[in-house]
Amino acid sequence: MTALRNLTSTTNMLEITQLRVTTGFRVNGSKDDASTFAIANNLRGDICGTEAIKGALAAGESTVNVAIETGKAVADLLIEMKAKTVQANQAGLDSASRTALHNDFTALRDQLSTIVATAEFNSVNLIKSGATNLTVISTAEGSTITVTAQAMDAATLAISASDLTTSASAATALTAIDSAITSVSDKLAALVSSAKRIEVQTNFTAQLVDILKEGVGNLVDANLAEESAKLQALQIKQQLGIQALSIANAAPQSVLALFQ
């Protein structure tokens, strides 16, 4: 009976060790350690929530980056438009040259309108006419980062009606273009500032996820080197227990032989 109890105990310990080696966890359920299992589950919930925040921040960052890159393209087009406007302000410019400059100016403005209209990410456009602010959730507690929309379409920049067909209109267009360039620079600065806030929060969130995962690991992960060594020891102990039980079972047979 002693041999049987020892063998049963060894078998139970072997099953536990095999489970730890297989799963990699020291705590596989509440039966192993109820309080640790509960704490680890709470941390796993925090990790899932933080991972969701990380995804929302990534989407917000991409949306703002699209707006920034498009804004840079708008700024480049405005510089080209200014060059055309300056040329149109030359004294004694003939009608054919003025018309050609006006056509180039109009083509650049149309291109500006096209890129502004297509500057979308996830159906959000921060620089089109009538764009609304973007709210990005930043923490599991519900804190948010608000990105203010920065419209950069031709109407908002007050250049939609500009033309270079006359000397007077060219002079007016030059003033409007200078104002538009300044406005776009300010709008880009605001977008870059918002992007930086989101980037900082994204980096912090990624670090927080790593820390939480490490915390869960410290609570429930098994020491695989130790468990592997224990597994080998218990396997040997189990074999010895089987032999001991066999010897114990053989003893009554020896006594019985004395009566034959």
Q: Is 119 helix (H, G, I), strand (E, B) or coil?
A: coil
Work out the pLDDT band at 246, boundaries 50, 70, 90: confident
Q: Are residues 77 and 96 in the same domain?
A: yes
Q: Are residues 78 and 192 in the same domain?
A: yes
Q: Are residues 9 and 52 in the same domain?
A: no
Q: Are residues 93 and 180 in the same domain?
A: yes
**Containing structural domain, residue 246:** 1-24+223-260
Q: Are residues 88 and 157 in the same domain?
A: yes
Model confidence pTM above 0.85:
no
Rounded Cα distance between 25 and 17, Å, is 10
Q: Are residues 98 and 162 in the same domain?
A: yes
Q: CB atoms < 10 A from the CB of 168, how many? A: 8
22-51 confidence digits (pLDDT tens)? 778 888 877 878 888 888 889 889 899 999
- Residue 226 half-sphere exposure toward CB, CA atoms < 13 A: 7
Q: Are residues 13 and 68 in the same domain?
A: no
CATH code at position 66? 1.20.1330.10
168-220 confidence digits (pLDDT tens)? 999 999 999 999 999 999 999 999 999 999 999 999 999 999 999 898 888 88
Work out the pLDDT band at 243, boundaries 50, 70, 90: confident
Q: Are residues 88 and 145 in the same domain?
A: yes
State the total domains in the chain.
2
Q: How many helices (H) and strands (E) does the chain have?
A: 5, 2
What per-residue confidence (pLDDT) applies to 218? 84
Strand partners, 145: 136
Q: Are residues 102 and 130 in the same domain?
A: yes
Which residue, chain included where needed, has tokens 């020491």?
A: 223
Cα angle at 194 between 129 and 62, to 5 degrees? 75
> Does residue 16 have a pLDDT over 80?
no
